[in-house]
Each structure stands twice: as C-alpha cells, then as structure tokens.
Amino acid sequence: MTNGALPPPSEIELACTLMRGGTSKAAYFLASDLPADPARRNRVLLAALGHGEPRQIDGIGGGHPLTSKVAIVSRSADPRADVDYLFAQVMAAQSRVDLAPTCGNILAGVGPFAIEQGLVAAQSPETAVRIRMVNTDALCTAIVRTPGGRVQYAGETAISGVPGSAAAVLLRFSDIAGSSCGALLPTGRALDVIDGTPVTCIDNGMPVLLLRAADLGVSGHESPAALDANAALKARIEELRRLAGPLMKLGDVGAKVVPKVTLLAPPRDGGTVHTRTFIPTVCHEAIGVLGAVSVASACVLEGSVAEGLVALPPARVHDLSIEHPSGEFTVRLELGERPGSFASVALLRTARPLFRGRVLIEGSAW
C-alpha cells in the first residue's frame, strides 16, 4: 500500500443476539459494539443482515421485512429511561437502512436483552425496564419476569402468529400519541378524503393510514398472498400512501416504510375489527404492535373510518381485539379526560433468544 496503511481484516466479528420479539425477529446489538458514525454503522448492518438481493442469502436476515430488523441498545442518558432502543429496518433489495419507524414487536425483546447484557439490574420476581424508543422519542416500560434475578422465557402466554407459549412481557406506553407526526390526528380530523377515498390518518405510536377495505373493492378478509397478487390494489394503496405523507407531516414517503396502510373490515372471529396491513407495499402476515395501537385508537374515535364497522359500549377502559391474518391482538386503552385522548396503553407480548454469538461481516464494510 503506497500510503503505508494496513489493509482491513478480511472478517470482523460482532457480538449479536438473534431474538424473536412478538411476531418478528431481529439482530440485537449493543450500540458500543457498532460504529458510532451513522453511515458506517448502516453499512455494517447491511453487511450483517445481507443486502443487494431480497433473499439476504449472504447475511443473517430472513428475506422478509418481519425478519430483516435490528435493535441497537445502550444505556440511556435520559433520566426518564434506563436504556435507549434504536430500531433499524433493513431494506435488503434496496441496500438501505430505514430509521424512520420504531417496532413494537422487537421492543418486546429489548427489556430481556438489556437485563442479560448487564445494562439493567434484575430484580425478583420481575424487573421494570424503562425504554426510550430513539426513533420516535416515545417511552415504554417493559415488565420482564426475572425470578431469582434471571430472565424467564418459558411461560403460559400465547400470542397469535407464534407457536406455543412463553413468559409474558407487559408493555406499558406513555406519551406515544403523535410520536412521528406531532399529533394523534396529524390532519386535525378523524376523517379525511384523499383523491375521493375516505381515510383516517392517525399516529398513536405508529403512523398509519386507515381505509375501509370495501372502499378499495376488496373484502379485507382475503389472504395476504391474494392481496399481494392484486397489482391494481397495491398501486392504489401506494398512491394514497404517498398523497397522505405530506398531510401527516411526514413529507415525501416514497422511500419510507411509514405510514403503514391498514385496511379495515367487519370482524369475523368475535373481535373488534378485522385488518390487513401493508408495510409499506407487502401485506403483513399479522400486524405490528404499535400499528395495532393506532388501529385500536381509531376504533374509539368518533367519525373515523372505523365507524360503522366497530360497535363498542360506552366505557373508560376498552380491551380491543384487532383481528389479523394469523389471529388477533388485544390492546387495552384507557381513555383520557379530554375527548380523543388516552390515559394509558398496555399490551402483552412474548420474546425469546434464538442464538447468542458473533456475526461475521467483510472487513471492508467496517
């Protein structure tokens, strides 16, 4: 080398835990094990999970948006939190890392990971881990089972989309309304009409564009595969999503995964409402945690597109069952004193480590 610099090592080893969080999987890293420079860090994440083609054949990503995720965890300098959680969605085919959204499913694994990495001291029989979701600056407290000061993963809680059962992780959210858009209803209205189609633009932890499935010429009960094969439907959904972006204070969303789009239909399995969600153009096999919170929130708002599909008795606290392709997701909402406000949001998830070890990346990526 003419400048005397040493060539990079052929391989770099990074400590990594692959975990299932809710109905998704992610590679969990300590922030201290990754480059501090964001551009360099993103190159490393792309190399670790695989990119350049959708199968992620040369990385540990699973070839699907639900399995191409990253959680980056560190001690928090915020007095309201114990740890910071930065979520990254690896867009493999585009060789791009999206930091715009957060992920509530992967959030379920942050508490257990933080305890096992020594970032939070375990208590017995359970440990409360205060988490700042860096992407949106929202807060969540995860209640993790830790009998004898050790994380317990085995348990009796079953969630739709995951076989078997595991120990429950209770997620309590605070101040998540408008986390990305600045307001629960970023347009100031529960109902808007975009290009002739009634919609609800909402953000209670996740920006979501809600539409009635029937308004797009489908029932909303079709399989994800059938909806993915409907090119005209997907083109219309993406058209509406891009038009909604500026209205939701998100700007040009053509290269973003938010807002998510959820189609609403009448319930068919005894739940509150039936859903099909696109992230952003692939139909989800389930529904995201915070996406479900935004959907549930719209169900209790007068005048939203959910009106006429949902029948709820008057109450201060609602347990709303959000049906999705692989089951249902129950969200507990406590209404606030002001109309259209929420005092608290809580839900149950489960998580489990799948492997702990080191992922190898090409030295040039570092």
Burial of 242 (0-12, 13-18, 19+ CB in 10 A): middle
Cβ atoms of 184 and 200 closer than 8 Å: no
- Give CATH 3.10.310.10 domain extents, the chain: 11-168+351-365, 192-344
Helix H or strand E segment including 188: none
Q: Which pLDDT score, from 0 to 100, does residue 175 have?
A: 83
Residue 275: predicted pLDDT: 98
Look at residue 174 in the predicted model and tell me its pLDDT: 84
Ramachandran area for residue 322 (φ above 0: left; ψ -120 to 50: alpha; else beta): beta
CB 132 within 8 A of CB 76: yes
Instruction: Quote the CA–CA distance of 230 and 273 in Å, as a whole number.
Output: 22
Mean pLDDT check: name the lowest of 67-81, 110-124, 194-208, 275-289: 275-289
pLDDT tens column, 196-225: 999 999 999 999 999 999 999 999 999 999
**Does the pLDDT of residue 125 top 60, yes or no?**
yes
Q: How far apart are CA 27 and CA 18, in angstroms?
A: 5
Asked if the bond preceding 8 is cis, omega within 30° of 0, the reply is no
Give the CA distances from residue 144 to residues 29, 155, 171, 252, 257, in Å, rounded to whole numbers and listed in that order.
Answer: 19, 12, 9, 38, 29
Q: Give the CATH H-level superfamily of domain 11-168+351-365.
A: Diaminopimelate Epimerase; Chain A, domain 1 (3.10.310.10)
pLDDT tens digits, residue range 299-317?
999 999 999 999 899 999 9
Residue with tokens 């989800």: 284
- In three-state form (DSSP H/G/I as H, E/B as E, the rest C), the secondary structure along 64-81 is CHHHCEEEEEEECCCCCC
Residue 3 has pLDDT above 60, yes or no: no
What are the distances in angstroms from CA 69 to CA 26, 50, 251? 5, 11, 24
Contact 48, 59 (CB under 8 A): yes
Beta partners for residue 358, in sequence order? 15
- Number of continuous H segments (helices) and E segments (strands) in the chain: 5, 17
The alpha-carbon radius of gyration of the chain (Å, integer) is 20
What residues form DSSP beta bridges with 126?
A: 145
Torsion of CA 67, 278, 321, 86, to 10 degrees: 50
Q: Is the pTM of this model over 0.85?
A: no
CATH topology of domain 192-344: Diaminopimelate Epimerase; Chain A, domain 1 (3.10.310)
State how far the Cα of 11 lies from the Cα of 9, in Å rounded to an integer.
5
Give the pLDDT band of residue 1 (cuts 50, 70, 90).
very low
Mean pLDDT of the chain: 95
Q: Which parts of 102-168 are beta strand (E)?
A: 126-133, 138-145
pLDDT, tens digit, for every residue of 82-103? Answer: 999 999 999 999 999 999 889 9
Q: Percent of the chain at pLDDT above 70?
A: 98
Cβ atoms of 210 and 295 within 8 Å: the answer is yes
- pLDDT band of 22, cuts 50, 70, 90: very high
Q: What is the pLDDT of residue 222?
A: 98
Q: Tell me the average pLDDT across 163-174.
A: 94
Quote the pLDDT of residue 2: 45
Length of the chain: 366
In this model, does residue 328 exceed pLDDT 50?
yes
pLDDT at 4 over 90: no
Type of residue at 180: S
pLDDT for residue 62 is more than 70 = yes
Query: Is residue 49 scored above 50 in pLDDT?
Result: yes
Band the pLDDT of 7: cuts 50, 70, 90: low
> Tokens at residue 328, please?
């249902």
Q: What is the pLDDT of residue 339?
A: 84
The sign of the torsion formed by the CA atoms of 39, 65, 54, 233 equals negative
